[in-house]
Chain A
Amino acid sequence: METSTSRRKLFNQLMKILGLLGLGLSLVILLTLIFDLIIRGGSRIDFNFLTSFPSRRPSEAGLLSAWVGTLFVMLITAVMTILVGVSAAIYLEEYAKPGPMSRLIELNILNLSAMPSILYGLLALGIFVHQFRLGASLLTAGLTLSLLVLPIVIVSSREALRALPPNLKEASFALGATRFQTLIYYQLPSSLSGIMTGVILALSRAIGETAPLITIGALTYIAFLPKSIMDPFTVLPIQLFNWLSRPQPAFHVNAAAAGVILLLLTLSLNLLAIYIRIRVRKSVKW
Chain B
Amino acid sequence: MGTRQSRGWVEKIFETWFAACAYLSIAVTAGIVLTLVWESWPFFQQVGLVEFLFEKEWTPLFSDAKFGIQPLLLGTLMTTLIACAVAVPLGILIAATLSEFMSSRMRQVIKPVIELLAGIPSVIFGYFALIVVTPFLQKWIPSLPGFSLLAAGLTMSFMILPLIVSLSEDALQAVPSSLREASQALGGTVWETTWKVILPSASSGIISACILGVSRAIGETMVVAIAAGQQPHWTLDPTEPAATMTAFMVQVALGDLPHGSLGYQTVFVVGLTLLLMTLAFNFLALQFRSRIRKSF
For A121-136 the 0/1 string (1 means CB < 8 A from B) is 1110111001000000
Once the chains bind, are B222 and A210 in contact (CB under 8 Å)? yes
Residues of A within 8 A of B120 (CB): 34, 208, 263, 266
Per DSSP, chain A at the interface is helix
As a 0/1 sequence over residues 129 to 140 of chain B, the CB contacts with chain A under 8 angstroms (1 = contact) are 011100000000
Q: Which of A12-20, A61-69, A164-172, A222-230 contacts B (4 or more CB under 8 A)?
A: A12-20
Cβ-neighbour of A240 out of B11, B17, B123 (below 8 A): B123
The residue of chain A having its C-beta at the shortest distance from the C-beta of B124 within the complex is: A259
A126 touches B35 (CB 8 A): yes
Residue of A85, A116, A147 most packed against chain B (CB within 10 A) = A116
Stretch at the interface among B42-50, B62-70, B186-194: B186-194
Is A119 touching B259 in the complex (CB atoms < 8 A)?
Answer: no
Q: Scoring B residues 4 to 46 as 1 if CB is less than 8 Å from chain A, else 0, what string do you get?
A: 0001001100110111011111101101100110110000000
User: Judging by beta carbons under 8 Å apart, are B90 and A122 in contact?
Assistant: no
**Could you say which of B38, B161, B212 contacts A126, with CB atoms under 8 Å apart?**
B38
In the complex, identify which listed stretch (B53-61, B111-119, B232-240) lies at the interface while the others stay far away: B111-119
- The B-contacting residues of A in range 104-144, CB under 8 angstroms, are 104-105, 107-112, 114-123, 125-127, 130
| Interface contact B113-A244, CB-CB below 8 Å | no
Interface segment, A42-50, A52-60, A189-197, A211-219? A211-219
Instruction: Check if A12 sits within 8 Å of B250, measured CB to CB.
Output: no
Knowing A23-B94, A220-B254, say if A91 contacts B18 (CB, 8 Å): yes
Across the interface, name the chain B residue whose C-beta is closest to A271. B116
Are B116 and A122 in contact, CB atoms less than 8 angstroms apart? Answer: no
Contact across chains for A114 and B215 when beta carbons are under 8 A apart: yes
Asked whether A88 lies within 8 Å of B24 as measured between CB atoms, the reply is yes
Say yes or no: A20-B246 contact (C-beta < 8 A), given A118-B221, A210-B121, A244-B130. no
Interface of B, secondary structure class, is: helix
Question: Which of A15, A111, A274 lies at the interface centre, i.e. has the most chain B CB atoms within 10 A of its CB?
Answer: A15
Q: Cβ of A145 < 8 Å from any Cβ of B?
A: no
Interface residue from A30, A114, A208 paired with B122 (Cβ < 8 Å): A208
**Assembled-state Cα–Cα distance A87/B249 (Å):** 33
Give bound CA distance, A153 to B279, whole Å: 22
Q: Is B78 interfacial (CB 8 A cutoff)?
A: no
Q: Is the CB of B285 within 8 A of A214?
A: no
Question: 8 Å CB contacts to A: which residues of B220-263?
Answer: 220-222, 225-226, 246, 249-250, 253-254, 259
Closest 9 CB pairs of A and B: A208-B121, A116-B219, A19-B97, A126-B35, A91-B18, A211-B221, A12-B189, A87-B21, A88-B21
Q: Which residues of A contact B (CB under 8 A)?
A: 8-9, 11-12, 15-16, 18-20, 22-23, 26-27, 29-30, 33-34, 36-37, 40, 83-85, 87-88, 90-92, 95-96, 104-105, 107-112, 114-123, 125-127, 130, 147, 150-151, 154, 178-180, 204-205, 207-211, 214-217, 220, 237, 240-241, 244-245, 252, 255-256, 259, 262-263, 266-267, 270, 274
User: Given contacts A85-B21, A180-B11, could you give 14 more A-B pairs where the C-beta distance is less than 8 Å?
Assistant: A16-B190, A22-B93, A33-B128, A88-B25, A118-B271, A118-B274, A120-B32, A122-B271, A127-B31, A211-B246, A220-B254, A237-B222, A240-B127, A244-B130
